[in-house]
Amino acid sequence: MLDVDHFKRVNDTYGHECGDMVIQTVSKILLEQTREYDIIGRLGGEEFGVLLPQTTLLEAREIAERIRIKIEETTMHYNTEEIRVTVSVGLIRNSEEIEDFNTLVVLGDKCLYQAKSQGRNRVICYEENDFVI
């Protein structure tokens, strides 16, 4: 799960057209930083889900960090303004303990909100925390 940090501030400051440009840029980076067989979807607003099939947790963390850093380093231009955003990422590995896709999304969301509460612009892994399934 991936969410653009302080996205409302972008819309409120520069307008929804700028917000759309930010979403498009983040989408493009997601496509560039993932593999052909990975699945990327916009879940609504500024939130995205990325499925990384046949990937170890270590590989997934590396991909998530690569995405996070690339977005942080990207300068977007809107009219005469330079816009920079960051993202928070909640990372979870599918396992036999997880009974269905909805549970996977809920746990990914918990990690995402943990990343937000710890200061944003970071990746939080489910396996590194004491969440209850």
CA–CA separation, 64 vs 102, rounded Å? Answer: 21
- The enclosing domain of 8 has a CATH number of 3.30.70.270
Q: Evaluate the CA torsion angle 117, 5, 91, 56 in order and state its sign.
A: negative
Q: Answer yes or no: is 119 within a domain.
A: yes
Instruction: Establish if 72 belongs to a structural domain.
Output: yes
Tell me how many domains the chain contains: 1
Average pLDDT over residues 68-73: 98
84 lies in some domain: yes
The residues carrying an active-site annotation are 46
* Residue 69 covered by a domain: yes
Beta bridge partners of 67: none
Q: Which residue has the tokens 């489910």?
A: 126
Which range marks the domain in which residue 52 is found?
A: 2-128
Say how far apart CA 31 and CA 2 lie, in whole Å: 13
What pLDDT does 104 receive?
Answer: 86
76 found inside a domain:
yes
Q: 128 falls in which pLDDT band (50, 70, 90)?
A: low
Checking if the pLDDT of 18 tops 50, the result is: yes
Tell me whether residue 133 is in a domain: no
The pLDDT tens digits for 42-70 are 998 999 999 999 999 899 999 999 999 99
Q: Is the dihedral of CA 110, 115, 116, 117 positive or negative?
A: positive
Q: What global pTM score does this model have?
A: 0.90
Would residue 62 count as lying in a domain? yes
Are residues 111 and 103 in contact, defined by beta-carbon separation less than 8 angstroms? no
Inform me whether the pLDDT recorded for 130 exceeds 60.
no
102 against 34, higher pLDDT: 34
Instruction: Read off the pLDDT band of 103 (50, 70, 90).
Output: confident
- What pLDDT was estimated at residue 132? 44
* Helix or strand run (H / E) with residue 88: strand 87-91
